[in-house]
Copies of this chain bind each other. A is one copy, B any other.
Amino acid sequence: MARRKPLRTDIAWSTTDTITVKGLDLCQDILGKVSLGDMAFLGMTDRLPTPAESLVFNAIAVCLVEHGLTPSALVTRLTLAGAPEAMQAAVGAGLCGLGSVFVGSMEDAARLLQEALPKSEVPAGTPPNIEELAKQLVAREIAAGRSLPGIGHHIHKPQDPRAPALFAIARANGFDGPYIALMEKVADEAGRQLGKSLPVNATGAIAAIACEMGLPWDIVRGIGVLARAVGLVAHVLEERRNPIAREMKTMVEEQATAHFR
């Protein structure tokens, strides 16, 4: 079995007295100068963010940290109840559910936008045919029986408040291009074609802003994953102080087996 290629990483390496991360000296260039959010940006893009990019990237990451007792948070708490000595596994288990349904919808929205407006073709500013583009995109997805990602919300009415907040932050920092425009038109069009109000939600806003920042759609889920890890650690701490996992388990089990009694 011939060796096909040498192993190689360019992320980080060490000598006896230095540690280099993404080409920067950890001790000289990073510690005390780069924040955790900017470090995440560096890991995703191979460069540090500008101040505007930092502010906007941190906003979208922060937005994904916490949304209460999500399935992920329940998973972390239930796992901790059985293995309190392994909080890292409780957080790890909690991340496992960030798949196609929850965090994945952000990825789907970013993909839809980037496929409709390939990066290489994006001119300066918003293309003139953005409404027509949205109309066709929405019609195609509806015809294919697919639900449109990034719009509507089952709790937040009339609109997910995070979307306008994030769009305002993005625009105030110079990110106000064709992807945000297209996402908003898609929401309008979908509302029209489906006959109900379906404004852009947090997922759609984050996807559009990530596109504006030049992040490829297939790394967008990563923002959700790292942000949620931050949130799940807080659930570990609350579960330790005020545990609910066992009670939740008892309540669910009683209800779910009541038909036998």
Q: Which A residues are within 8 Å of any B CB, using their own CB? A: 1, 3-21, 26-28, 30-32, 34-37, 39-40, 42-44, 54-55, 58-59, 61-63, 65-72, 74-75, 78-104, 155-157, 159, 161-162, 165-166, 168-169, 172, 218-219, 221-222, 224-227, 229-231, 233-238, 240, 242, 244-261
Known contacts being A75-B79, A83-B97, A95-B92, is A234 close to B157, with CB within 8 Å?
no
Separation in Å of the A74 CB from the closest CB of chain B?
5
Contact B233 A40 (CB under 8 A): yes
Q: A4 touches which one: B75, B86, B247 (CB < 8 A)? A: B247
Q: A244 touches which one: B8, B224, B240 (CB < 8 A)? A: B8
Which B residues lie within 8 Å of A159 (CB)? 17
Which B residues lie within 8 Å of A62 (CB)? 30-31, 34-36, 39
Separation in Å of the A68 CB from the closest CB of chain B?
4
Which B residues lie within 8 Å of A15 (CB)? 261
User: How long is the Cα–Cα vector from A240 to B9 in the complex, in angstroms?
Assistant: 12
Which B residues lie within 8 Å of A75 (CB)? 75, 78-79, 93
Contact B169 A32 (CB under 8 A): yes
Contact B5 A247 (CB under 8 A): yes
- Name A250's closest neighbour in chain B (CB-CB): B1
Contact A12 B74 (CB under 8 A): no
Contact A90 B81 (CB under 8 A): no
The 5 closest A-B pairs by CB, nearest first: A83-B99, A43-B234, A82-B97, A36-B37, A229-B229
Contact A36 B40 (CB under 8 A): yes
Which B residues lie within 8 Å of A68 (CB)? 9, 11-14, 253, 257
Contact B86 A96 (CB under 8 A): yes
Q: Can you pick out 14 interface pairs between chain A and chain B where the beta carbons lie within 8 Å of each other?
A: A3-B250, A5-B247, A8-B242, A8-B256, A17-B161, A35-B35, A36-B40, A43-B237, A81-B97, A82-B98, A88-B95, A95-B95, A226-B230, A226-B233
